[in-house]
Structure 1
Amino acid sequence: MGTRLDMGRIRAARAVIDPVFLDSPLYRCDALWDKLGCAVSVKLETANPVRSFKGRGAELVASRLAADGGTAMVCASAGNLGQALAWSGRRRGLDVTVVARRGAPAVKLERIRAFGADLELVDGDFEVARAAAARLAREREVRLVEDSLDIETCEGAATIGLELAGSVSGGDAVLIALGGGAMATGVGHVVKTLAPGVEVICVQPLGAPAMTLSWRARRVVTTDTMDTIADGVAGRFPIPEVLDDLLQVADDAVLVREESIVAGMRMLLEDAGLVAEPSAALGVAAVLEDPGRFAGRHVVTIVCGSNTSIS
């Protein structure tokens, strides 16, 4: 079985994405090495205007929509994609509407509005917002942006892999937060293409395990509920096409407890000086829960977002 991702398009994406999102810092963090018992490199995807990796994919979506003569788009978002599309859309004169759950983190909702998007709030979880966004796009006859299903979101995220592939080698591990799958499939595809001996490990909260359960079963597994602090990766209905891509590139998918996620956030703040939202701490959480697996190895963790309150 093949994959929807294409290395030629991924390399070409760097010419489309605003440089403010490219070449994010990648460095060894000795403080984490001392605490975790392995050589930890951090790929910092928060030093940009939207404070997350989502700007890469949003740039591809917005640029292609504008080139095709489109004027508006709608998306469902846990917060970060909405910010990114609002930022990229405003630069290109596109109207952006973001549908989010009413209980989403206030800092994310405030920044969506600040970037000029219209914000529609719904009661319920992310899957309710996703259904509402689809209805709204049909009614308005505008572009529906579906994170992870739309290949631009995956191939935009895949440019992260181009930037880190030269810094990893056989026996190393790359830990990737797993939600809808855009970052995991994108980065995983590039790493497995350019550095096949590197282990690609996806990490998801135990309270929102649908994609991990699907990867393990090799078929879509849905869940009735989800309960996790890591709102950015919380979903109940995996997308079949994305699961097919993930099955080609992930060596493992692991689930971590809430207390490990919180401990990971605290460690990144106190020992690395990094503000990380819960989803961005999943890689550290995975090492905390299984230190023997990573002892003495070189591990890369992607700090993928910092849209959180530290109060």
Structure 2
Amino acid sequence: MRKTRLDIDRIRAARRAIDPIFLDTPLYRCEALEPGLGCAVSIKLETANPVRSFKGRGTEVIASRLADSGERAVVCASAGNLGQALAWSGRGRGLDVTVVASRFAPAAKLDRIRALGAKLELVDGDFDMARERAAALARNDGIRLVEDSLDIETCEGAATVGLELVRATPTFDAVLIALGGGALATGVGRVVKAMAPGVEVICVQPLGAPAMTHSWRERRVVTTDSTNTIADGVAGRRPIPAVLDDLLLVADDAVLVRETSIIAGMRMLLDHAGLVVEPSAALGIAAILEDRDRFAGRHVVTIVCGSNVDVDAYHRWVGAAGAAGAAPASAAGAAPAGGS
């Protein structure tokens, strides 16, 4: 295949920089989900760690390299999960971490960033506005800016999930990956296409935050003016060109799913797998729900990528799913925008 920015040897090396608490996460067949989905489903569970998402894999690589080089301060923009992960990884290595986020981000994520010792700055806008502010802080203060998905460490850290997937027995036919900025999709996709090329790599994004999917389909960067989805972790408006280039090489498909399907997926993961997940983590299940015929008779892996969710909002969403099959985004409290 043509080369992406991601290197398999560097991905293998990244494992050595990552705290083992983030590695070798559970991968198991969840038969209880299968009657409702019509296919064999395995779950790769990326929530059983101190930051409750896969983001710690990438921030461990970044923080390790920063500490080794003698740097002592770092800033990032985040919708919550990256900020928590960088705060956790930085705290253990003596780094001063600043996180810029939208004040509309889930309160649970913001509270956890503060609890982990990072300085938190809030902006009156969405994730892309936070990204601009973080870049300004980095320039003004002369400190390292971490840009999720653009910084190769975030992608190659996330790619270690793929190393674990391709070792799986039995093998699987397709992997469903939440698509936001692209670190997880490009990382896992790179490994899967290099080491298990027969596996279909399918990226999933909300219909209310379609910029990266439209960009993949049109093979050029497509931006949107706004987002409208409860899946705040994948709700960026401005794809990064270099990340899109990588995605074009490793993704077989990119699909959009409705808010009702996301909520129904969250409810299924609660009822049949005992998992409380954030909306982004239910995108894979949502994709199966919307296209059962495509997956019928196949073995599909879905990466459950995060469980940082506001408790009150979660109860509204899953309660709506149980009472009426799902609720529209406007009724469910859709976030105005988001990111990593």
Q: Please show how residues 196-275 of structure 1 align to structure 2 within 5 Å.
A: 196-275=197-276
1:225 positional shift: 1.0
Per the alignment, in what secondary structure is the counterpart of residue 65 of structure 2? helix
1:34 positional shift: 1.7
Output the CA distance in 2 between the equivalents of 1:152 and 1:12.
11
Q: Please show how residues 4-153 of structure 1 align to structure 2 within 5 Å.
A: 4-153=5-154
CA contact (8 A) 1:178 1:202 kept: yes
1:168 positional shift: 6.7
1:166-197 superposed Cα distances (whole Å, 9 cap, x missing partner)? 22778701000000000000000000111000
1:271 positional shift: 0.8
Structure 1 residues 93 and 102, CA gap change in structure 2 (3 angstroms): same
CA contact (8 A) 2:172 2:301 kept: no
Does residue 164 of structure 2 align to residue 163 of structure 1? Answer: yes
1:187-209 superposed Cα distances (whole Å, 9 cap, x missing partner)? 00000111000000000000000
1:115-145 superposed Cα distances (whole Å, 9 cap, x missing partner)? 0000000011111000011001111110000
Output the CA distance in 2 between the equivalents of 1:299 and 1:106.
33
Output the CA distance in 2 between the equivalents of 1:124 and 1:279.
20
CA contact (8 A) 1:171 1:197 kept: no
Per the alignment, in what secondary structure is the counterpart of residue 105 of structure 2? coil
CA contact (8 A) 1:169 1:197 kept: no
Output the CA distance in 2 between the equivalents of 1:44 and 1:176.
12
CA contact (8 A) 1:161 1:187 kept: yes
Output the CA distance in 1 between the equivalents of 2:296 and 2:69.
50
TM-score normalised by structure 2 residue count: 0.90
Q: Give aligned pairs, total.
A: 311
Structure 1 stretches lacking a partner, 5+ long: none
Quote the residue 2:322 is aligned against.
none
Output the CA distance in 1 between the equivalents of 2:250 and 2:140.
37
CA contact (8 A) 2:99 2:118 kept: yes
Output the CA distance in 2 between the equivalents of 1:70 and 1:10.
23
Q: Please show how residues 179-190 of structure 1 align to structure 2 within 5 Å.
A: 179-190=180-191
CA contact (8 A) 1:169 1:195 kept: no
TM-score normalised by structure 1 residue count: 0.99
Per the alignment, in what secondary structure is the counterpart of residue 246 of structure 1? helix
Output the CA distance in 1 between the equivalents of 2:290 and 2:303.
17
Output the CA distance in 2 between the equivalents of 1:60 and 1:160.
14
1:33 positional shift: 1.1
Q: In structure 2, what residue type is equivalent to 1:11?
A: R
Identity %: 77
CA-based RMSD of the aligned residues comes to 1.0
